[in-house]
Structure 1
Amino acid sequence: MRHVGRLIFICVTVLRYGLDELALSSFRQRWVRALVRVLTIGRRLDLPRGVRLRLGLERLGPIFVKFGQVMSTRRDLLPPDYAEELAKLQDRVPPFPAAQSRALIEKAFGKPIDEIFASFDAEPVASASIAQVHFATLKDGREVAVKVLRPGMLDVIDDDLTLMRTLAVWVERLSVDGKRLKPREVVAEFDNYLHDELDLVREASNAAQLRRNMEDLRLVMVPEMIWDLCTQGVIVMERMKGLPISQVDRLREAGVDIKKLARDGVTIFFTQVFRDGFFHADMHPGNIQVSVAPATFGRYIALDFGIVGTLTEFDKEYLAQNFIAFFRRDYKRVAELHVESGWVPPETRVDALEGAIRAVCEPHFDRPLKDISLGQVLLRLFQTSRRFNVEIQPQLVLLQKTLLNVEGLGRELDPDLDLWNTAKPFLERWMNDQIGWRGLAERLKNEAPRYVQLLPELPRLVHQALTRPRASDTRVLEALLEEQRRSNRWLLALTASLIGFAAGALLVLVLLRWQA
């Protein structure tokens, strides 16, 4: 019944803010327009449509806010008024009361807040869909940021996910694309990421891992976690000072090289994905700042590590080969990779798939980011995938989302950025490191501890293998002997039958001659 109540709440919210009218207004069919007129009878929708959309998503809760955050980076796909309002979801979700935040912190640490901090700012500096952040100062003088999980989030998210699972089942049953799109697997992936985001200790560990990974790159800063003050509902971290990346004019006034900043963003993304297989998967503008301190001037500052993506070695190699083939315009290799990976049926004609991919991608090369839309390219690729029954890979959903975030950031910073030429040298170097002599040396180094333990034992192991057959070998040998015995018995019976047949035939011939 709780889930039914949530569904009713969603329907009421949709009607209250006219989200149904927004969703249906883009259809040109007469019956759809007539339906819109019927649905809006008696309702006063005075607020601008962008404001109604933002307020409706805020009212519906964290999952819908996350959806709005993703869409806010796609200004090429949305009307300007939608994009402007959805951008406010990045860090301006209404906060919960400061007294409640203090109570949650004191409950988490089991002591009054004055015993933990020398000072604590009751007014939150940022309020997002899952948590809000306060600035504070520790007793030793260190400036920190305190992140507090919103109360009651687990029940709301579980209700929404239950509805999403039900919807996914019906999509899989009723849609012709249901099996290919794997909606239940995608919802399961989303479920994992959201529940991971509700565990702030996991977020702190994600930040620590990214901090180690990015330390030698010197392009991005990740706050240090204060582990003594990290719990599942509250975490305390180093306070980072920078300008929001969305405030491009202020960054220019501070002397930041915006074009270099855009190129560095691409480098950071591809390094995290292909070198580490561990990437920040919530890179909307509200989570990215730029340092203007003299010692770290122009570096990215990454925040909010609740959602990270991971890739296996197979995924990384497959994706890198696909990207490089795209950048080299080797569409035949792209088609072959799809067949080799099993993402398309094995009977798919490579030349037909090659031609379809070429038609999608070729018009977008050698053009700056301002003149292309990766979102439109992906949309056409999805249409092509439907034609060739390409199966959606749930483990890559986060990567696709993050790639759209990166393109959105790049479009804001430097519309003239050539995404292809910026990324191609990095991927080629990465592939050379993987399959060249350097990659071989690195793998040998990683396997060295195993070799050190194995080599002294190798002569004894070889001697045992040669002199003492294993039990499995004995069983195989016995099975072969039994099979040989059966074959011998069968051959003996067959030979006896043939001899008997030949003797009988000879006897008949003798009798016939004798009678003659």
Structure 2
Amino acid sequence: MRAKTPHINRFAQIVRFYRVSRLLLWTIWVIYRERQRVIRARERGDYDAKPNSEVLIKVLEAFRDTAIQLGVLMIKLGQFLSSRADMLPEDALKVLADLQDEVPPAPFEHVVAVLETELGKPVEEIFSVLERKCTAAASLGQVHKAVLASTGETVAVKIQRPHIHQLVSMDLSTIRFVIWVVNRFVNPDFVDLVGLFREFRRTVFEEIDYVTEAANIKRFQEMFKDDPTISIPRVYDEYVSHHVLVIEWIDGIKLNDYAALEAAGFDRLEVANRTVRAYFYQFFEVGFFHADPHPGNIFVKKGSPVDDPVIALVDFGMVGTLTSYMKKTLRDLFIALVMRNAHDIVEALFKLGFIGKGANLTTLERGITILLDQYYGMTLGEVSNIDFSQLASDLESLLYGQPFQIPAQFAFSGRAVGTLVGVATGLAPEFNFFDVALPYARKFLQWDSKGIAQASQDLFREVLNTGKLLLTLPGSLERLISQIESGQVEVKVNNFTGNGKRKRHNGQITISEGSASSALTWLLVFGSSLGSGIYLHSLHQGLAGWFCFGLATLSVLGLLLRR
């Protein structure tokens, strides 16, 4: 049997297009207007100017309320924007931070129709029990508890909501149209709207493809196969399609159900430690992480030992990835932070995609230097006591007017870490986030014996290469000077009127001897040495740079002695 879901009628499509486009245009316009007001004020010398938080909060509250009414993609877009600290100040972001997926469930008839269409059998042949009431309803899908007829195993059945692909396509087309209008008439250079849309579209299509989610689950199973403290649900491959996903049912206690955790006898601090360790393993060691760690997606398994709680993760539709290049550049960024090198910090941020074209790199370096002077040298305890609202305000002041953006993968990881901090702190106020992170950060930065040995080898190799260059440079320069003075190398001169002897060769004037030849030689050495010194210092090659400066000084002395 193949059930048919009626399409959304044309009038409903027009109404939805109007509501979505109006909502997005007004929201983007207010954000852009406030940003431009602050930039103009700072150009006039008013560096204390800030965006009007009341205005931004008002428009984002309207966005949140309308998104809940429209559902589907608008809720996801609100969640996505809640991680964009490059677009909105912190107090405005809080309005969207609590935008949850909780929406009214689809009718049970729709659930049955999708199951029978996708799996090709009557629902009674597949499940001996299928609960009518869903256990979770989100903007893109919902979950029902069931029992497999063939094995008697209890499973979770995930089904997409009605019209999901049509609604997603409609809303994405509307968002693309709005971005076209904004870029044509406003050109908000503070954010790459096209890039933001591209990343948002990619993540949405991944999340509504349950075959992709099943593959994600299997990858997490492989990641944690040797860790008995972490549980990943089993996937039933014979019941997986693009619109249906059947996995093992996890009977557990949500992380924010503190009363139930204490009644079961679990140590909340140990639960927090194990949860955060699991995520740091994903971030730092594997580079593939569960990007939606809110309390509804993390459980403590019932029946696990009180002194040995097992943490279960569910819902793997939204994941993030850190490539090997991103990891290497992040290490470079951290080393630059340790060395307080603002130039290298900006360079690493540019490579990672945080800094767009047209940025004033000098201004960014100056601002980062100020921040380093303010926050550098803090102990771990002092860092944990930082007023992050003040830090966010400082960063906001630094970045306003600059094409600074957060790449989507880092937005996901930042949102995940922020959510994780809130979950762990709620579980155990005494939880020390930095103590748990430190061992993983050391390994990520290759601060173990193997990493230090490799770094030492690389440094030694670099020193040797620099040494070889410096040893051969004087001889090369001496040979060049000899060739110039002996006439083996031509130097072209226009309108030369000096007293030196000249000869014409193939229509060119070649200096071969005399005082002019000698002076020109030493001037050539001076200019090349000085330029090389400046260039090497800009690359932070101090030793080679100072050598070139010394050579330039000697060339000046040589010129004076020649006279």
TM-score by length of 1: 0.67
Q: Report what 2:423 is aligned to.
A: 409
Task: Tell me: CA distance 1:214–1:150, structure 2 relative to 1, closer, same or farther (3 Å).
Answer: same
Matched, 1:319 2:335: no
Deviations 1:408-452 (A, max 9, x none): 323322344343343233211232278936997xxxxxxxxxxxx
Deviations 1:291-318 (A, max 9, x none): 2322595232111111111121011222
Task: Tell me: CA distance 1:436–1:389, structure 2 relative to 1, closer, same or farther (3 Å).
Answer: farther
Matched, 1:299 2:310: yes
Q: Report the more deviating stretch, 365-374 or 130-139.
A: 365-374
Higher helix share: 1
Equivalent residue letter for 2:76: K
Measured in 2, the distance between the counterparts of 1:166 and 1:305 equals 30
- After TM superposition, list the pairs within 5 Å mapping 1:41-440 onto structure 2: 56-67=66-77, 86=98, 89-90=100-101, 92-138=102-148, 139-172=150-183, 178=189, 180-294=190-304, 297-323=308-334, 330=340, 332=342, 334-335=345-346, 337-338=348-349, 344=355, 348=362, 352-358=366-372, 361=375, 366=380, 372=386, 377-378=391-392, 380-386=394-400, 389-390=403-404, 392-432=406-446, 436=450
For 1:124, what is the secondary structure of its paired residue? Answer: coil
For 2:445, what is the secondary structure of its paired residue? Answer: helix
Question: CA RMSD for the aligned pairs?
Answer: 4.4
Aligned length, in residue pairs: 415
Measured in 1, the distance between the counterparts of 2:449 and 2:397 equals 33
Would you say the 8 A contact 2:128–2:146 is kept in 1? yes
For 1:181, what is the secondary structure of its paired residue? Answer: coil
Deviations 1:17-36 (A, max 9, x none): xxx9xxx9x99799x79xx9
* Percent of residue pairs bearing the same amino acid type: 25
Equivalent residue letter for 1:191: R
User: Which structure 1 residue ranges, 5 or more long, are not aligned?
Assistant: 15-19, 40-48, 441-493, 499-516
1:128 is displaced (CA, Å) by 0.9
Would you say the 8 A contact 2:233–2:249 is kept in 1? yes
Deviations 1:78-137 (A, max 9, x none): 69x9799x47x34x3210011210111011111111111222112111111111111111
Deviations 1:258-315 (A, max 9, x none): 2233233332222212211111112222222222322595232111111111121011
Measured in 1, the distance between the counterparts of 2:177 and 2:377 equals 40
Measured in 1, the distance between the counterparts of 2:256 and 2:375 equals 29
Measured in 2, the distance between the counterparts of 1:352 and 1:101 equals 58
Measured in 2, the distance between the counterparts of 1:360 and 1:429 equals 27
Equivalent residue letter for 1:310: T
- After TM superposition, list the pairs within 5 Å mapping 1:443-458 onto structure 2: none
